[in-house]
């Protein structure tokens, strides 16, 4: 597979020609496997890999896509904002209508090309919305100055007392 200068393979690998599935008629099924390195699915979604098997089944409404794909998602820890790589399993079960219908979210055009990119983008954004941690005991960022507390565990600030409470502090110090 040819990789571009940006390190990604073309997202054309997500466009499947299903003309033979459509012409076979309802009841026909075809298995296909994915093992794709880094691919830019959309402008806002990059995956480090896509692996798994899909079953394409012809129905009278179109092509039913079913399967489970493992994808690598580059993101950031939701506590400390360090970059992380997550392995996400996406379960897919979607009907691509044929002939194309404006009422359907996913459809197959007259060219018999089934584009998985919009579906993968949506499923990845949903799966990634939960966020991830760089490690289970991530300390996050200092709420006052934003220092990563994982890198500076002894980080501390001088006690800044609210001037309205300074008299109470003096009482405590006695």
Q: How confident is the model at residue 2 (pLDDT cuts 50, 70, 90)?
A: very low
The tally of domains found in the chain comes to 2
Q: Summarize pLDDT for 98-130 with one digit per residue, the tens.
A: 887 777 889 998 899 999 999 999 999 998 877
- In the chain, the N- to C-terminal Cα span, in Å, equals 74
52's enclosing H/E stretch is: strand 45-58
Q: Which residue has the higher pLDDT, 2 or 134?
A: 134
Q: What is the pTM of this model?
A: 0.76
Distance of CA 52 to CAs 35, 91, 174, Å?
A: 7, 10, 68
Strand partners, 40: 46
- If asked whether residues 16 and 74 sit together in one domain, one would say yes
Within-domain flag for 4: no
Task: Give the span between the Cα atoms of 100 and 110, in whole angstroms.
Answer: 8
If asked whether residues 68 and 100 sit together in one domain, one would say yes
Domain enclosing residue 81, as ranges: 11-138
**Is residue 20 located within the same domain as residue 84?**
yes
Q: How far is Cα 66 from Cα 57, in angstroms, rounded to an integer?
A: 8
Beta-carbon count within 10 A of 143 CB? 7
């Amino acid at each position: 597979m040819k990789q571009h200068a940006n390190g990604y393979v073309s997202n054309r690998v997500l466009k499947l020609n299903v003309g033979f599935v459509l012409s076979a008629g309802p009841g026909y099924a075809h298995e296909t496997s994915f093992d794709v390195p880094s691919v830019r699915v959309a402008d806002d979604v990059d995956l480090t890999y896509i692996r798994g098997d899909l079953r394409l089944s012809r129905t009278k409404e179109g092509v039913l896509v079913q399967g489970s794909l493992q994808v690598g998602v580059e993101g950031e820890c939701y506590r400390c904002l360090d970059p992380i790589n997550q392995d996400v399993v996406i379960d897919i079960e979607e009907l691509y209508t044929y002939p194309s219908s404006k009422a359907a979210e996913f459809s197959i055009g007259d060219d018999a090309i089934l584009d998985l990119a919009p579906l993968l983008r949506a499923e990845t954004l949903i799966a990634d919305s939960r966020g991830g941690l760089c490690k289970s005991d991530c300390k996050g960022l200092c709420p006052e100055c934003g220092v990563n507390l994982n890198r500076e565990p002894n980080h501390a600030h001088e006690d800044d007392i609210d001037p309205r409470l300074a008299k109470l502090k003096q009482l405590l110090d006695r």
